[in-house]
Amino acid sequence: MADVRLLPPNAELETKRVLKQLARSHRALAELKGFVSMIPNKNILINAVMINEAKDSSEIENIITTHDELFKAMSQKNYSNPAAKEVVNYRTALWHGYELVKERQVLSTNMIIEIRQLIEKNRAGIRKLPGTVLKNEATGEVVYTPPSGEKEIMALMDNLEKYINNDYDNVDPLIKLAVIYYQFETIHPFYDGNGRTGRIINVLYLILKELLDSPILYISKYIIRNKLAYYKLLQEVRTKDSWEEWILFILDGIEQTAEETLLLVKKIKNILEKTAEDINNILPKIYSRELVDLLFYEFYTKIVYIEKGLNITRKTASNYLSSLEEKGFLISQKIGKERIFLNKRLFDIVKQAGIYR
Ligand SMILES: Nc1ncnc2c1ncn2[C@@H]1O[C@H](COP(=O)(O)OP(=O)(O)OP(=O)(O)O)[C@@H](O)[C@H]1O
Ligand SMILES: [Mg+2]
């Protein structure tokens, strides 16, 4: 069994190479933060970006679903596709974690336990029984046996919690993010869901440190693209003390994903503006900015959302959506008993930004 070393790491983290990359990562992140801060209705962007993250992060765990399935699972409570459901749970966990961090200004072990519980919809909590091992996916060989025993795990989590919430070491928060991510995966406090919970911790930490105001930056897609390196580098921090390579890997991921996310949110903002203009021209009688915002809140909408959102009758809301469909802004589909209206323009942009298979 592993003897997990306590934080802070006994190593030089701010090396020359790290500092060089750090500047680039911060620049990309600041640009994203700045752009998003100027957008009035941020929830629109957050929802769209988050659904892709939920999909990508779950995909690392081989929970693979399509955007079409997701849209059905999102719009219908008892839709029976377990993978799509789990992805929707992941997004719920992300939102919840974000709200907790905003409210309490800390990121505690209890919050982390709560977040995992939402992803997997079970109350297993911290591991109590031994037997959890990490294997090489290809060969089945055991590469790492995490610590066992609730007491030992809780002691390590306490140490991690202090490292997350106190900056006694004066190390840059993006470097700390890499350290926290490694340590969390190494403690591996849960039976399952450690990868996904760890990836949620990443974005919550950025919020906690005010490097982002909105939960909008995720490196899951980067990790999928570099999955072998990800596992190898995690392992080599342990076996070779190679902190520098791991930190550079994460910093590079932050830079790349910040750039990609900025492009995506710009696209979403543009298509929203363009759609507002088009509806105003083609259907001036029903146009309002609130209506357009509602159409972009998720990539689908329902009559009841328009009815409540605009405070109009069901009949009028239904007429609005029919007119929008007639003019090609929406495509409706009957799912279960309900008619769901897909915002095709938004849906296509979000889909394109996702992982392609
Ligand atoms: N050698 C290793 N050392 C430390 N952590 C590792 C190692 N190999 C894998 N891991 C971590 O374990 C995670 C998988 O754990 P677990 O199955 O509990 O999480 P998950 O969320 O279900 O899976 P996934 O990360 O595949 O989505 C990986 O994402 C990785 O972060
Ligand atoms: Mg798993």
Ligand 1 atom with minimal separation from the 237 CA: 3
Within-domain flag for 19: no
68 plus 184 within the same structural domain: yes
Query: pLDDT confidence of 355, banded at 50, 70, 90?
Result: low
The percentage of the chain sitting over the pLDDT mark of 70, rounded to a whole number, equals 99
What pLDDT score does 121 carry? 87
303 pLDDT above the threshold of 50 = yes
Tell how far the Cα of 192 is from the centroid of ligand 2, in angstroms: 5
Distance CA 256, CA 196 (A): 20
Q: Quote the mean pLDDT of the chain.
A: 94
Residue of the nearest CA to atom 31 in ligand 1? 195
SS3 string, 286-331, reads CCCHHHHHHHHHCCEECHHHHHHHHCCCHHHHHHHHHHHHHCCCEE
Within-domain flag for 297: yes
242 plus 339 within the same structural domain: no
Distance CA 233, CA 300 (A): 40
Ligand nearest to the CA of 58: 1
Give how many domains the chain has, as a whole number.
2
Within-domain flag for 1: no
DSSP character for 126? B
Tell how far the Cα of 165 is from the centroid of ligand 1, in angstroms: 23
Within-domain flag for 18: no
281 lies in which domain range?
A: 266-353
Mean pLDDT of the 330-341 span: 91
List the beta bridge partners of residue 339: 334
Tell how far the Cα of 141 is from the centroid of ligand 1, in angstroms: 14
336 plus 232 within the same structural domain: no
Position of tokens 């509602």? 294
What pLDDT score does 38 carry? 93
pLDDT tens digits for range 68-116: 899 889 888 888 899 999 999 999 999 999 999 999 999 999 999 999 9
pLDDT tens digits for range 4-50: 999 999 999 999 999 999 999 999 999 999 999 999 888 999 999 99
What are the φ and ψ backbone dihedral angles of 150, each rounded to 5 degrees? -60, -35
What pLDDT score does 194 carry? 97
Within-domain flag for 40: yes
356 pLDDT above the threshold of 80 = no
Within-domain flag for 273: yes
pTM over 0.85: yes
The percentage of the chain sitting over the pLDDT mark of 90, rounded to a whole number, equals 85
Within-domain flag for 298: yes
What pLDDT score does 357 carry? 44
pLDDT tens digits for range 245-271: 999 999 999 999 999 999 999 999 999
* Alpha-carbon distances, residue 76 vs 50, 160, 307, 332 (angstroms): 18, 38, 18, 14
pLDDT tens digits for range 40-63: 888 999 999 999 999 999 998 899
Distance CA 51, CA 177 (A): 23
What pLDDT score does 268 carry? 94
User: Which protein residues are within 6 Å of ligand 1, measured from CB?
Assistant: 60-61, 134, 143-144, 185-186, 192-196, 198, 231, 234-235
Ligand 1 atom with minimal separation from the 132 CA: 18
185 plus 331 within the same structural domain: no
Amino acid at 125: G
Within-domain flag for 8: no
259 plus 296 within the same structural domain: no
User: Which has the closest alpha carbon to 283: 249, 323, 337?
Assistant: 323
Last residue of a domain, one of 216, 244, 264: 264
- Contact in structure between 247 and 175 (CB atoms under 8 Å): yes
Q: What are the structure tokens assigned to 203, written together?
A: 């974005």
Query: pLDDT confidence of 3, banded at 50, 70, 90?
Result: confident
Query: pLDDT confidence of 185, banded at 50, 70, 90?
Result: very high
